[in-house]
Amino acid sequence: MLRYSLADFVTLRAPNQAMTTTGATSRAKIPNMLIESGGGGILTPESTSRHVNAVMNVIKYLKMLKGTPIEPSNQTQLGERAVGVRATRGGFFTYLVNAGDVVEEGQQIGQITDPFGVVIEDIKAPMGGAVNIINFLSAKNTGDPLFSICELR
């Protein structure tokens, strides 16, 4: 089912047992998936359309709607391991990659500047993988989350 979500990246995980909708359906042994779309809390017409197309494609796959589902052409499976990247200095955060970008270990992915624009921290990827989450807020304190990077399978 997840294959037909048309997502560029998919993660297969053990059933979520948390007190969430996906956890409840997992406990009831009902297949489920969570599809995320947009970025930074902002939905664009493109990301909304992509999300609707994903849901419609899964419904076709489940034969709840007539039609042949689209076969995804390029889908990458993410591994279980993810690493969070936090600011070691406070200042203003600029990200140099986007969610979904594949990065190499040691690649510069962002920077922290002081109020005058002087770079006080170069943020480098601690491992290779796909950028999963970017915390888009500009002002950062020491220890604030910046990125999450997931390993590729």
Q: For the domain bounded by 79-152, which CATH number is listed?
A: 2.40.50.100
The structural domains of the chain, with segments of one domain joined by +, span: 2-74, 79-152
Helix (H, G, I), strand (E, B), or coil: what is residue 52? helix
In eight-state DSSP terms, residue 68 is P
Determine if the pTM surpasses 0.85.
no
How, if at all, do strands 9-11 and 76-86 pair? parallel
Among residues 126, 144, 134, the alpha carbon closest in space to that of 83 is found at 126
pLDDT digits (tens, 9 = 90+) for 48-103: 888 888 889 989 999 999 999 988 888 888 888 889 999 999 999 999 998 889 99
**Residue 121, helix vs strand vs coil:** strand
